[in-house]
Amino acid sequence: MINTYSYKKDKDIFLTPHFQVWEFRSYWDEQARLTTDKILIDDRLPNLLEKIFEKLNCSTIKITSGYRSDDFDRAIGGFLGYHSKGMAVDIMCYDKDNKLISSKDVCLACEDLKILGIGYGSNYTHLDTRDVKSYFDETNGKTGINSFYDYFNIKKKEENNNYVYKIGDTVEINAVYVSSIDTNKMTPLVTTGTITQILDNARNPYLLNNGNIGWINDDCIIRKLDNKNISVGDKVKVLNNIQYNGEKFITYYDIYDVMEVNNDRVVIGVDNVVTCAININNIEKI
């Protein structure tokens, strides 16, 4: 949906957490002036920018050209295309060190996000919300690019191969998030869990224990644990003193004996005296 705003009245409105109405204004840099008070914005655009912001871990994204009034678009050699419809932006993305991210990397990120209108520029990237795929190079006029990975001769990583951990890994953590996009880091009640889902392009891509623990990223993980070979007679140490039923228990010993194993339920004790049943993710073989 294309929404109409007034620069004077609406410029400070936040469309998404990182983008305000004024950033999409029709502004002629060479003449240092607005060309109209009206601003047209496709409501899909700010959401796409947020996805790029997250995927590239940006510090900021600068919109160098957003909506263009018809007279402005004609004056700079435009053809009343997607900019004049409020469906396009040219952007410059900056990393956490405030260094410009290359347009090549931005194009690849946009392709990964399945954006259909992408244009490579010398130091900027064009994107729009068209419904038919069109990849092009604005530095030389080339159109009909099938994939920027092929165009730039860059091998595309297979899905999830860019992640350090994989589904089924058991990890020890020191932080957790309530969702894949959450930025509010919390102290976890349970400090070990198994990765049961990986969500591509998410801020916190790993889901632990089917959501019973929460979402995490690489920075939350202290180490990967290897508990798959725990069997009766093994010696283990307790990583998290939570019984299988969820109740806490006091750890009087540093080392426990494994007395029974039933899937993720492990009975531990000392000298043939049962201490408790515990989730396999809360112990580590030694």
Residue 176 domain-assigned (yes or no): yes
Tell me, yes or no, whether 10 and 144 share the same domain.
yes
Tell me, yes or no, whether 212 and 249 share the same domain.
no
| Domain containing residue 28 | 2-151
Residue 139 domain-assigned (yes or no): yes
Whether 121 shows a pLDDT value over 60: the answer reads yes
Least confident span in 124-133, 138-147, 181-190 = 181-190
Residue 37 domain-assigned (yes or no): yes
C-alpha angle 104/106/107, rounded to 5°? 65
Residue 159 domain-assigned (yes or no): no
| pLDDT at residue 139, rounded to an integer | 95
| pLDDT at residue 59, rounded to an integer | 92
Number of domains making up the chain: 3
Residue 160 domain-assigned (yes or no): no
From CA 90, how far away is CA 205, in angstroms rounded?
Answer: 28
- Please check whether residue 172 is in contact with residue 222, taking contact to mean a CB–CB distance below 8 angstroms: yes
**How confident is the prediction for the chain on average, in pLDDT?**
89
Tell me, yes or no, whether 35 and 134 share the same domain.
yes
Q: Which domain-ending residue is among 151, 184, 211?
A: 151
| pLDDT at residue 39, rounded to an integer | 96
Tell me, yes or no, whether 219 and 245 share the same domain.
no
Q: How confident is the model at residue 162 (pLDDT cuts 50, 70, 90)?
A: low
Helix pair 44-55, 103-112: axis angle to 10 deg: 110
Q: DSSP letter string over 48-115?
A: HHHHHHHHTT-SEEEEEE----HHHHHHTT--S-TTTTT-EEEEEEE-TTSPBPPHHHHHHHHHHTT-
Q: How confident is the model at residue 87 (pLDDT cuts 50, 70, 90)?
A: very high
Whether 117 shows a pLDDT value over 80: the answer reads yes
Tell me, yes or no, whether 84 and 182 share the same domain.
no
Q: How confident is the model at residue 24 (pLDDT cuts 50, 70, 90)?
A: very high
Tell me, yes or no, whether 31 and 143 share the same domain.
yes
Residues 65-85: what's their mean pLDDT? 88
pLDDT in tens, 253-282: 989 999 988 777 889 999 989 999 988 877
Residue 74 domain-assigned (yes or no): yes
Residues 20-44: what's their mean pLDDT? 93
The secondary structure of residue 156, as a DSSP letter, is: P
From CA 171, how far away is CA 189, in angstroms rounded?
Answer: 14
Q: Which domain-ending residue is among 187, 202, 225?
A: 225
Residue 157 domain-assigned (yes or no): no
Q: How confident is the model at residue 244 (pLDDT cuts 50, 70, 90)?
A: confident
| pLDDT at residue 279, rounded to an integer | 80
Least confident span in 16-30, 55-69, 77-91, 271-285 = 271-285
Tell me, yes or no, whether 64 and 183 share the same domain.
no
| pLDDT at residue 130, rounded to an integer | 94
Could you tell me the CATH number of the domain that includes residue 7?
3.30.1380
The pTM is what?
0.56
pLDDT in tens, 198-210: 887 788 999 988 8
User: Three-state SS for 209?
Assistant: helix
Tell me, yes or no, whether 75 and 187 share the same domain.
no
